[in-house]
Amino acid sequence: MEKTTIFALSASRGLAEEICQELDLPLGNISVNHFADKEILVTPMEAVRGKHVYLVQSTNNPVNDNLMELMIAIDSLKRASAKSITAIIPYFGYARQDRKAAPRQPITAKLVASLIERAGADRVVTIDLHAAQIQGFFDIPVDDIAANNLIGTYFKHSIKGKDTQYVVVSPDHGGAVRARKLAEYLHAPMAIIDKRRPKPNVAVAMNLIGDVAGKEAIIIDDMVDTGGTISSGVQMLKDHGATAVNVACSHAILSGPAIERLRNCGLKEFVCTNTIDQSSHLDEFPEMKIISVAPLMARLIRAVEYKTSLSAALKSAYGAD
């Protein structure tokens, strides 16, 4: 892999360093400057001519700054004659704007896809897109990697040898498929919380479909933003007799009052991946357990570089039976 270079941008340096450790590669040297007027300049500090370059950057808060960093970096690499440019975007911002939910609304996920493609990316890698159809917004290859089995493996190891009965819970109807996959992986039953969303970032749990009485619950979602859905869901499950409630997600956005809500709702564990850097939250949120997606990304890069089966490479990364 002597012609492979991995760069980290501002939002994902820790994850990129872990990926490089997995691959036994040095992290590429790239300069990212934010000027006083908020303009951004990204400059690779080493030659990339003829190289396969991987940019690691989640587009979480500040979404627009991180997105612009990514596109400017792609443009700089394209103009520096990189042979190929792969944008690894563990958390894909604007993914919730994937359709027109009301008249005159934009489809911003499509706009972002077009911008990344037009900037010069040859391939995009994501983890658990909020809507799988976003892959179709690109006219270049997109690999959307599922973190569900990483979460499943974590819980399988944590419950091994225990007599506790578990139930996997989807916080809404839209996540039922995700919850069913985890339930099958853990050989556990599942339940669904019926909720309504009167406005963005506000959700109200209404009814529970399924039986959680006397069982330890695992709420699984793709992302947790303000924590309103989850905190009300935890309370509902306890009201219905759940002995304890765990929460798991791929993307811990944790905006505004999220951490305070999660700490106060009485959950047992909050399990997430490091698609979004959580290092600043560990001290204030001891219930948080972080699973690294670096092994998945490293195996993906290796499979792409050696032109081997991606599905086989990822299966080995899950550590599943």
Q: Are strands 30-34 and 40-44 parallel, antiparallel or unpaired?
A: antiparallel
User: Which of 206, 220, 85, 88 lies closest to 145, judged by CA?
Assistant: 88
Known catalytic membership, residue 83? no
Question: Which long-range CB contacts under 8 A does 142-149 form with residues at least 24 apart?
Answer: 143/300, 143/310, 145/293, 145/296, 145/297, 145/300, 145/314, 147/250, 147/273, 147/275, 147/291, 147/293, 147/296, 148/178, 148/181, 148/182, 148/185, 148/220, 148/250, 149/185, 149/318, 149/320
213 Cβ neighbours under 8 A, 6+ residues apart: 240, 241, 242
Q: Which residue has the tokens 């357990």?
A: 289
3-state SS assignment for residue 45: coil
Neighbours of 268 (CB within 10 A): 15
User: Which of 169, 177, 162 lies closest to 247, judged by CA?
Assistant: 169
Distance CA 240, CA 212 (A): 7
Structure tokens at 124: 């995009």
Supply φ then ψ for residue 105, to 5 degrees.
-85, 150
Q: What is the DSSP letter of 139?
A: S
Q: Of 195, 238, 268, 289, which residue is the catalytic one?
A: 195
For residue 53, the cross-strand partners are 5, 85
Q: Which residues are catalytic?
A: 195
